[in-house]
Amino acid sequence: MRAALLTLAFTALAAAADDATTTVGFFGGGKWENTNDDESAPTIPFYTSVAASVVDVNAVETVLAISCLEGAATESCSIKDPWTMTQGISSFSWYAEYTAFNRNPPVTATLDYNCAYQNYTLSATCTYSMSYSGSSDGAETSTSYSTETSWASVSTYAALEVTGGVEKFNEPEATETPEGGAGFAGPMQAMVTAAPVLAAGLLGML
C-alpha cells in the first residue's frame, strides 16, 4: 500500500478575525510504500472537518489534540478519541486511533508516526507503523506493519485550524525552555517563513 504522508511543521500562519482561532502549518512529507502492496490495508481517511486544540506549548515543542469539528458529518470526520500531534524543534510525532471504513466490516486502526530531523526542512528520518484489529463472522483479525525512510529535504506543508487553547501561544510558557531542553522562540513561531503552506485538511494516505 502506498501512503503519502503530510509534513507537519507547526507555525502560526495567520490569525483569524476571531482571536479564539488561528491556523497553523504542519510538517511531514515523503512517500511510503508497504512491501506487501496490500490495497486492502486500512487507510487514513481524508478528513476535512477537523480542528486542533493546544494542549501544551513551550520553546521546545508544541502539542496539539485533533478532533472533529462540532456537528461534522461522519463521512467528513470520524475521530472518537483526539489524535495527538507533537511538533518539536528536531522531532515530530503523530499518534492516531480511528475506524477504517475501507475494511468490511470496519476495523479499529492505530497509526504511530515519528520523525527526527536536522531542522524543519532538512535531513528527516521517519518511522511509520500501523496496526488494526476487528472481527468478521465472529472471528477476530489483526495485523501490523512498519517502515522507515528518510529525505534530504522536506518542504511540503498543509494548514490546520486551531480552535481551542489559542491563548497559550501568547503565554510566557510558550517561549520558555523546559529544564534539560534546548530551544528558542517555539516551534510554531520558528516556521513562519520556512516553506509554502497548502490550504488543505488532513490529507489521507493514498
206 residues of the chain, pLDDT tens digit each: 333 333 333 333 333 334 688 887 776 554 444 444 454 455 566 677 888 899 998 888 889 999 988 888 777 787 888 999 888 877 888 888 887 776 777 778 888 888 887 766 667 788 878 888 887 666 787 888 787 877 776 555 667 788 999 888 888 888 888 775 554 445 554 443 333 344 444 444 32
Under DSSP, is residue 183 helix (H, G, I), strand (E, B) or coil?
coil
Enter the pTM of the model: 0.72
Phi-psi region of 192 (alpha: psi -120 to 50; beta: other; left: phi over 0): alpha
Angle at CA 15, nearest 5°, toward 14 and 19?
175
pLDDT of res. 53:
92
CA–chain centroid gap for 28, Å, is: 8
CB atoms within 10 A of CB 168: 18
What is the H or E stretch that residue 179 is in? none
Phi-psi region of 170 (alpha: psi -120 to 50; beta: other; left: phi over 0): alpha
The answer to whether the beta carbons of residues 201 and 50 sit under 8 Å apart is yes
Partnered with residue 97 across adjacent β-strands are 110
Under DSSP, is residue 120 helix (H, G, I), strand (E, B) or coil?
coil
Q: Is the peptide bond before 105 cis (omega within 30 degrees of 0)?
A: yes
Q: How far apart are CA 80 and CA 189, in angstroms?
A: 30
